[in-house]
Structure 1
Amino acid sequence: MTTLMTRQAFDAQTWSLLAFGKGSHTEHGFGWLDDVGNIDAERGVQLWITGRMTHCFALGHLMGDPDCTVLVAHGIDRLLDGPLRDTATAAWLSAVDLDGTPQPGALLAYDHSFVILAAASALLAGVPRAQELLDAALETLERLWWDEEAGMVVDSRDRNSLAVDPYRGANANMHMVEALLAAYSATREPLHLRRAARITGRIAQEVVTHSFRLPEHFDASWNAVLNYNRDRPTDAVRPYGSKVGHWLEWARLMVQVRVACTAAGIGYDPLLDSLPTGMYRKALQEGWGADGEQGFVYTVDFSGHTVVHERMSWVLCEGISAAETLRQITGDNSYEHDIDIYAAWAREHLIEDPGQWRGELDTDDRPISAKWSGKPDIYHALQAMLIGRLPITPSVAEGLLTSGAAPA
């Protein structure tokens, strides 16, 4: 447990984040929020945001918020019957306009992972039709995304031909691990946990091979492409180098996989016993204050030098989540010191008003919108506020359900 003051601040933020997120409701799902909490009409309705917010409202429902009960049901219904679901491919589109008109673009495994996450969390919360959505999402995973030979998911497909793009990405697989863990929480189907362990084991091997720095980009044969987008280092989706925030996020997920596999008697890569602490320490060494200013830099190259200096709020949130998880699994209370530092930095630089976390800061800690505009969703921050209250379970929803540890 963190210090009392930090814990109380996290509890207050939990409810404020949910209150802010409620403004994202749209006819066809949940919209992208701007800096003051209004829906950014130009962004339309994004699948990843609709999935994330449905998941967040499922957590709110489990905490007893009656508004969230209505909102999570809306998210499930829209993911099943709304225009985001493409009947031609029995998959989900990445985005539609606010009026439901499909936006161009490929089908993405990254986006699809949040459909599974939303359905699994809603099922644990007892929301009607959640099982129907989870069954449909898992069928689509099997048909379009899972590569059994590689033990990973492919990244994207052409919406018309369903041809697979040769690019492979660690990011889509990371969020699919989270989704598979959530599906395992909701169903106790061992296949989901075995797949999460396969993905995580392969990533662990890559991390060790590359001196604890995570390769983000791969070719169709899963060879790391370390120079990918070197000429576009600030690309919003696929930047050059490695994202420090992903080292933190993987560290947390590796612990969750290891704990779940141990409880279920399922094998996992033994690297998961030691690697999470190493990845966390590497993130502190090369990410926190690497340019002389506090806060995590966004990306580094494979020599550990900073590439993109800007600070993202989601990275700080994953720092909190990783430290909370590692504190619990190791019994090392020094992580509490890190959490208090992160919380203080967030209060000073990120939290504009209760529940309103700035998305991106420049090197002087001023709000900017170079990669992400507004305050799109509450997913990273909400989970960071909750994880320290919960036991280590495959999913946050299961932790809430089994412990009843909702904030006051």
Structure 2
Amino acid sequence: MTTHDDAAGLGPAWRSTQVRGLLEFGAGSLLPDGGAGWLDDDGGLDPAQPVHTWITSRMAHTFALGALLGVDGSTDRAARALAGLTGVLHDDAHGGWYAARGVPGAGESGTDDGTKAAYAHAFVVLAASTGSVAGIPGARELLAEALTTLDERFWEADPGLLLDAWDEGFTTASDYRGVNANMHGVEAMLAAYDATDDARWLDRAAGVGDRVVAWAEGNDWRIPEHFTATWEPDLEHHADQPDDQFTPYGATPGHGFEWARLLLQTDVAAGTPGRRTDAAVALFERALADGWDAEHGGFVYTTDWSGTPVVARRFHWVAAEAVAAASVLATVTGEERYAALVDAWWAWIDAVLVDAERGSWRHELDADNQPAADVWRGKPDVYHAVQALLVADLPLRGSFAASARDGAGAWD
């Protein structure tokens, strides 16, 4: 991809420095007995938070990417994070992984969340897949168990989608179905395909993506996020909780960007160049039109079904997914417009989100682009930012693990 960001000092050298800084910041999340805690604004553990499977998995995945790229210390850090998935977060009685555990020294409450969520399990698959490609000890065995659990507990063969959640004992499934868990399921299944060469995971990932495209196309390219147990759209879900962290009301432009990238990665993995490009462009353009605040700068979190902002706060992950999608579209289409957006958005991210004083990226801003913490307290996530920083400088593959494996020699 050709951009002009080198002239502004925001080219590959800046991005690799950012990646290293984020990995160093994220190292503060690692716990002595395995797993990763929730980081505060300064990179210390937040004692009010338990240890979450999704955070631990994201950290394990991100450190495994660092290991593939030769970043010092990343192999050991990935192994420590993965140890939480084979240890404290694993449910030895019922199988699968707790949503969260209260661990002394990391979470004061000591409370456990026994929910078995597809969202969290997808990230276990992602972590184990990337760990397997990176050669992290124990990752292959973890991946085998995680894929079996995803297949036997969460995959619904008739709709070809993942159900959302079970209770702790896998006895009662939630009536809610959602696209967010399936989006990360696609990411996880593409990574599993690259780690195992089992085409079943690629086929399922492609099928889920195509199903979501059909829903979006019938809804003016705004993705319906919430569904009933029979996969009927529930467009008013959480109208009374519009700023929910994971299942907010309305359309989520950040997910439009994220799906655009995943569709293009699916085509790379499947060897079907161009098949999903039109859909990726349509999702990207809708997310851009609805999500970007042209007056103040920044991306809103959610809109209603006509594109009017509902939650105008800015979350770092939305900007990360926007610039990542634009980077991939620039690579796939060769269009200068996408490269120009990459340049402009990196400049905005550097000016507004990157916290040069305290480290990492600010996770939440208000509508005036001032730091806030109404929805996201602290800085628990480096995964979105690291992936956005890597995608422009590595070869495009179905998974970031394959990109890092194949592009490590030229990175940095």
Range class of TM-score, shorter chain? over 0.9
Pairing 1:19–2:24 present: yes
131, 151, 165: which one aligns with 1:142: 151
**Aligned pair partner of 2:328 in 300, 325, 328:** 325
Query: Aligned ranges for residues 290-369 of structure 1 at < 5 Å?
Result: 292-353=295-356, 355-369=359-373
TM-score (norm 2): 0.94
Structure 1 stretches of 5 or more lacking a match?
Answer: none
Tell me by how many angstroms 1:102 deviates.
5.4
- Mapped partners of 1:154, 1:38: distance in 2: 35
- Gap change, CA 1:24 and 1:406, over 3 Å in 2: farther
Which residue is equivalent to 2:100?
Answer: 95
CA distance in 2, matches of 1:75, 1:352: 24
Question: Deviations 1:336-357 (Å, cap 9, x if unpaired)?
Answer: 1111111111111111127510
Which residue identity does 1:186 align to in structure 2? A
Normalised TM-score (structure 1): 0.95
1:160 and 1:186 map into 2 onto residues whose CA distance is 29
SS of structure 1 residue aligned to 2:112:
coil
CA RMSD, Structure 1 to Structure 2 (Å):
1.6
Structure 1: distance between partners of 2:391 and 2:219: 29
Task: Give the letter for the 1:85 counterpart.
Answer: H
Once the two structures are superposed, residues 224-278 of structure 1 have per-residue CA deviations (whole angstroms, 9 ceiling, x without a partner) of: 1111111221222211101110000000000011221126x9xx9x5x2311011
Please, which of 176, 179, 183 is the counterpart of residue 188 of structure 2? 179
The amino acid that maps onto 1:391 is: P
- Determine the C-alpha separation between the residues in 2 that align with 1:9 and 1:115: 30
Unaligned runs of 5+ in 2: none
CA drift at 1:406: 5.6
Describe how 1:114-193 pairs up with structure 2 within 5 A: 114-160=123-169, 162-193=171-202
Please say if residues 41 and 378 of structure 2, whose CA atoms lie closer than 8 Å, have aligned partners that are also in contact: yes
Does the CA-based 8 Å contact 1:357-1:375 persist in structure 2? yes
Amino acid at match of 2:221: F
Instruction: Provide the residue aligned with 2:270 in structure 1.
Output: 261
Residue-by-residue CA offset, 1:30-83 (whole Å, 9 max, x unaligned):
011000000012112110000000000001111112311111111222211x12
The answer to whether the aligner puts 1:54 opposite 2:60 as a matched pair is: yes
Contact (CA 8 Å) 1:181, 1:394: kept in 2 or not? yes
Q: Is the contact between residue 155 and residue 162 of structure 2 (CA under 8 Å) also seen in structure 1? A: yes
Offset at residue 312 of structure 1 (A): 0.4
Q: Distance in 2 between matches of 1:344 and 1:127?
A: 35
User: Which amino acid counterpart does residue 34 of structure 1 have in structure 2?
Assistant: D
Deviation readout 1:62-120 (Å, 9 max, x if unpaired):
1112311111111222211x120001211000111123955134211001111000000
Partner residue of 1:252 out of 250, 261, 278: 261
Is residue 20–residue 71 contact of structure 2 (8 Å, CA) maintained in 1? no
Which AA in structure 2 matches 1:249?
E
Misfit runs of 4+, over 4 Å: none
Tell me the equivalent position of 2:90: 85
Q: SS at 2:310's partner residue?
A: strand
Which of residues 355, 365, 371 is equivalent to 2:375?
A: 371
Conserved 8 A contact 2:116-2:170: no
Q: Which amino acid aligns with 2:393?
A: R
**1:208 corresponds to:** 217
Distance 2:56 2:365 in 1: 25
Partner of 1:383: 387
Q: Which moved more, 1:191-200 or 1:327-336?
A: 327-336
Determine the C-alpha separation between the residues in 2 that align with 1:196 and 1:405: 29
Q: Aligned partners of 1:349, 1:130: CA distance in 2, in Å?
A: 37
Q: Which amino acid aligns with 2:269?
A: A
Report the CA distance between 1:161 and its aligned residue: 5.1
Equivalent residue runs for 1:102-121 within 5 Å? 103-121=112-130
Change (3 A) 1:406 1:310: farther
Mapped partners of 2:170, 2:184: distance in 1: 25
For 1:406 and 1:68, locate their aligned partners in 2 and report how far apart those are by CA, in whole Å.
18
Partners of 1:70 and 1:146 in 2: CA distance: 33
- Residue number among 73, 76, 90 corresponding to 2:79 in the alignment: 73
Kindly provide the amino acid, as one letter, of the partner of residue 383 in structure 1: Q
Deviation (angstroms), 1:123: 0.6
Letter in 1 for 2:139: A
Q: CA deviation at 1:405?
A: 4.8
Shift of 1:306: 0.7
Identical-pair percentage: 40
Report the Cα distance in structure 2 between the residues aligned to 1:6 and 1:162, rounded to whole angstroms: 51
Match for 2:397: what amino acid?
Answer: T
Q: Is the 8 A contact 1:63 1:406 kept in 2?
A: no
For 1:398 and 1:361, how far apart are their aligned partners in 2?
33
More off after superposition, 371-380 vs 21-30: 21-30
SS for the counterpart of 1:307 is: strand
